[in-house]
Amino acid sequence: MSSDKARYRAAELILGNELFGRVQSCKVLMVGAGGIGCELLKNLVTSGFADITIIDLDTIDLSNLNRQFLFQKQHVKRSKAYVAKESASKFNPHVRIEALHGNIKEPQFDTAYFAQFDLVLNALDNLDARRHVNKMCLIAKVPLIESGTSGYMGQVQPIYQGRTECYDCQTKPTPKTFPVCTIRSTPSTPIHCIVWAKSYLFPRLFGSDDEQEGAELDKAAARGENAGEIDNLRKEAAEIKAIRKTVHTSGGAQRVFEKVYSADINRLLSMEDMWRARQKPTPLSWTDLTSATEASTSRIASGGLRDQHVPSLNESFQLFVSSMDKLSARVRDDPDTPLEWDKDDEDALKFSTAAANLRATAFGIPVKSQFDVKQMAGNIIPAIATTNAIVAGLIVLQALHALRKEWSQGRFVWVAKDARKATSITQLSAPSPTCASCQMSYVPLRVNLGEVTLSELVKIAQEKLGYGEEVVIVEESRLLYDPDFDDNLDRTLASLDIKAGSLVMVSDEDGLLSDATFVISDLPNGTFELPKVPPSIPKKPVKEEATDAEASSSQTRTSTKRTIDEVDAEGSQSKRARVDASGAILIDDDEEQDKTAATDGVIDLD
């Protein structure tokens, strides 16, 4: 018996010849090579799966090593996808593994790319990426096994297009974001100060933030955006650059300190209206703190628990100066390599801790220990290797149901910290009739992006899909056209940054047809191509007025979820919100301007 046959003998006996044959021949896309991904890849290569593609954008971090067992210390800073392939190939060298270091949302990973796979297995920890993969699988009609863990908890959800709930059928909590004006001017909690230190001050002093900002302003000017506003932003960027240039010289720490903890706070105090309902901040004095530090005999706590010590004002000041000096020396020694914030970079972490605590003191906010700052700034969610292993095993079990095409056998599985019942298993629910993702009509459209104008796209929607005169065209969070906003009609799709893989939604303002989404791909030669039989866009459901008896009954009726076996063959369609909730979060100092700020000739919508 060959080594290959011996390796799979047990799997073949358990699964049977037919199912094992499907396991061997299917193409699997695994998105994510982190905690779940490492366990999952090991399961796949030892279970008989022979054609696996891995995509992951991340590199290996020191903190990953305690649970992501495919990685070792010598792999730190390398691509997770590449190293996962190397390590898993040692388990089974006969498996074909393609490793891609990239973002799953990049244009090359379009619906045609997804359609080549028999299964997609999600091992992501990012809400936006999960929603994107969910939508791609719905359009490509590829079964998706979704998963996630958090500490002792985890879940596995099979998603079958048209048969089960998709990832967006149930509302997910949105990750917390903070307005820039809150971070820069009116912090009120420790996390505001930590975000300011990590994401605002550190990159502007030591990172590549200023160069990126300049490049973005150049692009905006080339697109013909508001010249006066761009000039103002350039002046602001120049001021930040001036501070940055002096960081590594003598007295750099003092200049930074007096700028952000004295001058900037005094400027804020001059805006009297801002403090009518808020506690006023107190500027900090370099001279006073220097004198107090010299006179003080206190020392920063040492020993094994020093990172859990909550520092005094003097200790934060000492830490700020010392960490500034160390980071400045690194910039001076290698000026061509900007620093990147990393929770495992001791100098960067100490700087963020000190800078955040000094700001917290100025604004009357409780200070935090270095341990707390690392946890909050690094967005560390407690991870347990055992939970990842359990969930990875459940993914493979659900994948086998999908390969059998036994859709009704799929189950939503929850893992919990409960000795009496570690897992909870429920039947898969039917698609939500109000889901903006799985109830959408997706229309493949090959189009010459450099020649076809937005006006022609509107005509395609009207003449080929049956929409009326009052249509609205939206791409992600951008309004491209509506009857009251026609500035872009003569622009080509390429000039509006529509590219292969873009999803362009059409809404019917007349209220007759449900929404549809064009799935764009490029057609270099020609104008446009639709499927030979364009999909029929369903009409919006008409809501019937309930009788008094029905209204009374509905108030006391308990709603229940439909299971997959109760799905109506035709399903139902409901009106989708004009702009999907997953659109980009726009953060700007000017909240009013934020609502109407134009980019690329379009209106950005919150």
> Which range scores top for mean pLDDT: 248-257, 287-296, 546-555?
248-257
b/e sequence 136-156, b meaning 16+ C-beta within 10 Å: bbbbbebbbbbbbbeeeebbb
Residues 513-527 pLDDT 10s:
889 999 998 888 888
- The runs of H, that is alpha helices, within 156-300 are 180-184, 190-195, 202-206, 209-222, 227-245, 252-258, 264-269, 286-295
Q: What SS3 class is residue 437?
A: coil
Annotated binding site for Zn(2+): 166, 169, 435, 438
What pLDDT score was predicted for residue 132? 93
Q: Provide the pLDDT confidence category of residue 219 given band limits of 50, 70 and 90.
A: low
- The runs of H, that is alpha helices, within 246-345 are 252-258, 264-269, 286-295, 313-333
Closest Cα to residue 505, out of 491, 522, 525, 520? 520
Q: Which of 26, 38, 137, 181 is catalytic?
A: 181
| Residue 426: CB atoms within 10 Å | 12
10 Å CB burial of residue 362 (0-12, 13-18, 19+) is: buried
The reported pTM is 0.66
- d(Cα 572, Cα 144) in Å, to the nearest integer? 22
- Quick one: average pLDDT of 16-44? 96
Q: Provide the pLDDT confidence category of residue 474 given band limits of 50, 70 and 90.
A: very high
- 3-state per-residue secondary structure call for 472-502: EEEECCEEEEECCECCCCCCECHHHCCCCCC
Q: Provide the pLDDT confidence category of residue 181 given band limits of 50, 70 and 90.
A: low
Annotated binding site: 32-37, 56, 64-67, 80, 125-130, 166, 169, 435, 438
Annotated binding site for ATP: 32-37, 56, 64-67, 80, 125-130
Q: CB-based contacts of 395: which residues, under 8 Å, 6+ apart?
A: 36, 40, 43, 121, 123, 145, 147, 156
CA 393 to chain centre: 25
Residues 486-512 pLDDT 10s:
889 999 999 999 988 899 999 988 778
Higher pLDDT residue, 156 or 295? 156
Q: What is the DSSP string of 132-182?
A: HHHHHHHHHT--EEEEEEETTEEEEEEE-TTTS--TTSS--PPPP---HHH
- Quick one: average pLDDT of 195-212? 78
Q: Is 38 a catalytic residue?
A: no
β-strands 602-604, 598-599 pairing? antiparallel
Of 33-37, 227-231, 394-398, minimum mean pLDDT range: 227-231
Residue-range domains of the chain with CATH: 3-172+383-427 (3.40.50.720), 180-378 (1.10.10.520), 441-529 (3.10.290.20)
Q: CB-based contacts of 319: which residues, under 8 Å, 6+ apart?
A: 300, 311, 350, 353, 354
Q: Is the pLDDT of residue 456 over 90?
A: yes
In one-letter notation, the amino acid at residue 350 is K
> Do the Cβ atoms of 473 and 504 come closer than 8 Å?
yes
- d(Cα 209, Cα 205) in Å, to the nearest integer? 9
- Quick one: average pLDDT of 174-201? 78
What pLDDT score was predicted for residue 578? 35
